[in-house]
Structure 1
Amino acid sequence: MCEHRAAVGSAAAASAAAALVLHGLFLRPRMLTWGATREEAARSYPGDELVPGARSSSTMATTLPAPPAEVWRWLAQMGCDRGGWYSWDLLDNGGRPSADRIVPQWQGLEQGQRLASVPSDRAWFTVAALAPERTLVLRADMRLPSGRPFDPFRGPAPLAFVSSVWGFHLGPVGPDTRLVVRTHGRSRPRVFTKPMDLVFWEPAHFIMQTRQFHNLRARLTPAA
C-alpha cells in the first residue's frame, strides 16, 4: 500500500512538473503577447518609463475595423464612473453594462484625471500620459493587501505594493486601427507577488483584455 501511494504521489508530482513546464515555455509567453507581432512585443511604448524596474509586462494587440479617431472615442470614456471597461461587466463594472454609444460628456480627458477602477470609487486609475488618437496610459498604485491607492510621488513606497501602467497605443492600418495594449508592473514583496502574478493576475488580465478587444470590435463593426 505504501509503495502504491508513493507511486501515485510520484506520478502526480511528475504531472504537475510537466504542466508547469508546458505553461512556462509555451502557454504563458503566448498569453502575455496575445495577438502582438514580435516587433510589437519587443519595442518600447510611452508609459514604459513610468514604472522603473518593472518585473512584469505584457503586450497584447488587435486590429479594429475603424480609424484611430473613432477607436479613441470609445477609449476616452472608459471608467467605472463613466462608460465602463467594455470587458466582463460583472467582474469589473459591478454588473452595470458598459456604454454601447458615445457619450459627449465623457469625451474629455486630462492628464492627472482619475478614472474609477471599481464601482465604489475607492480605487482608480490615473491618466498618466495622453496623446489623443494615439496614446492613453493609465496608472494604478495600490497598497497590499488592502488594495487602497497611494501616491507614489509622496514619500517612500509602502512595504507591500503594486505599481502598474496600462497603456493603449493606436496606429492606422489602412482604414483600420492597430491597437497595442502594453502593461508594465512593479511590486513587492516578490516572494508573494510573483506567485500571484503567475497564478492570478496574468490569467485575469488575459481574460479581461481579450474580452475588451472583442467588445470594442463589436461596437466598431458597422451594422449589416
Structure 2
Amino acid sequence: MIGYRAIVPALAAGGYVVLVRPRLLRWGATDEEAARVYPGDDLVSEATAQSTMAVTLPAPPERVWPWLVQMGHDRAGWYSWDRLDNAGRPSAERIVPGWQDVKVGDRMITMPNGQSWFTVGMLDEPRTLILRADLEIPGGKPFDPRKTYPYAYTEGIWAFHLEPLPEGRTRLVVRTRGRGKPRVLDRVVAVLAGEPAHFIMQLRQFQNLRRRLETDTDPDRRAHLATTSETTD
C-alpha cells in the first residue's frame, strides 16, 4: 500500500507539471507569440525544451537594444538577481558606449574567471539578439558545436526579439530552446531546475529593464549618456 508520505510528493509533482509549468514556459506571451517561429529557432535543431516569455516595455526598440547588447559579467551584468547570476556585482544603470560594439561570434562572459560564456549566435539590430550556450556535462566547460559533440552536453539559445509598438513602446519576446544528452537526465534537470530558474531570472530582468527605461526619460540625460565614454560600471 502506498503511504501518505509518498502520495503527497507525487500529487505535488503532478500538479506542478500540469498546472504550474505551462504558465512558467509562456509567462506574459500571447498564444500567437508562443506558437510563432522566430529567427534563430533553428540554431538548436530538434530541441526538446522551449519557453516563450514576453513583456511590453515603455520605449522603442532603438532604446531597448543598447541595454541588451552590453550584457555580460565583465560588462553591464544581466539586470536580474545580481547575487545569483553576476557574482554580486551590480548590473549597470546606464548605457556605456564602449560596450555597444557587438558582433556574431563574440562572447558574453558568465563567470568571474571567464571560463564560461554565451556566444552571440545572431544579431539583427535592433530586432534580434540571440545568445547561445554549449556546455559539456559535468563541469560546464564550453565546447564548439561545429566540431565533435561530447558524450554528455547541454546546448541552448537565449533569444531576444524586439517588435515596435504604437506610442513608442516595444514588445520584447524572449525565446529559449535547448536540448542535451543523456536525454532523460537533461529533461529531468531542465524541468526541476532549469525552467524554474530561468523563469525567476527572466522575470526579474523584465522588471529591471522596465525600471531603467522608465527612469531614463530625460532627453538631456540620454544625450549625455550617449556621449559618455565610460568602460566600467
TM-score normalised by length of structure 2: 0.90
- Does residue 68 of the first structure (1) align with residue 61 of the second (2)? yes
Which amino acid in structure 2 is aligned with residue 149 of structure 1?
Answer: P
Structure 1 residue aligned with 2:210: 217
**Secondary structure in 2 matching 1:108:** coil
Moved over 4 A (4+): none
Q: What is the Cα deviation at residue 223 of structure 1?
A: 6.4
Q: Distance in 1 between matches of 2:19 and 2:191?
A: 14
Alpha-carbon separation, structure 2, partners of 1:98 and 1:223: 15
Q: Give ranges in structure 2 of 5+ residues lacking alignment.
A: 218-233
1:139 alignment partner in structure 2: 132
Q: How does 1:1-224 map to 2 (within 5 A)?
A: 10-154=3-147, 156-174=148-166, 175-222=168-215
Helix, strand or coil for the counterpart of 2:215? coil
Matches of 2:93 and 2:86 in 1, distance apart? 14
Deviations along 1:132-167, one digit per CA (max 9) or x if unpaired, are 11000001100001100000101x210100010000
Deviations 1:8-65 (A, max 9, x none): x622222222212211111000001010001000001111101111101100000111
| 1:18–1:125 CA distance, 2 compared to 1 (3 A) | same
Whole-angstrom distance in 1 between the partners of 2:85 and 2:4: 39
Task: Name the CA distance, whole Å, in 2 between partners of 1:10 and 1:102.
Answer: 57
Amino acid at match of 1:14: I
- Tell me how far 1:191 sits from its aligned partner: 2.2
Which amino acid is 2:5 matched to? A
Letter in 2 for 1:160: A
Q: CA RMSD in A?
A: 1.3
The AA in structure 2 aligned to 1:37 is T
Note if contact 2:136-2:153 (Cα within 8 Å) is conserved in structure 1.
Answer: yes
DSSP 3-state at the match of 1:39? helix
Give the structure 2 partner of residue 3 of structure 1.
none
Cα distance change, pair 164–15 in 1 and its aligned pair in 2 (3 A): same
Separation (CA, whole Å) in 2 of partners of 1:38 and 1:119: 38
- Contact kept? 2:28, 2:53, Cα under 8 Å: yes
Q: In structure 2, what is the Cα distance between the partners aligned to 1:80 and 1:152?
A: 23
Unaligned 5+ runs, structure 1: 1-5
Equivalent pairs counted in the alignment come to: 216
How far has the Cα of 1:222 moved from its partner?
3.3
CA distance in 2, matches of 1:120, 1:207: 24
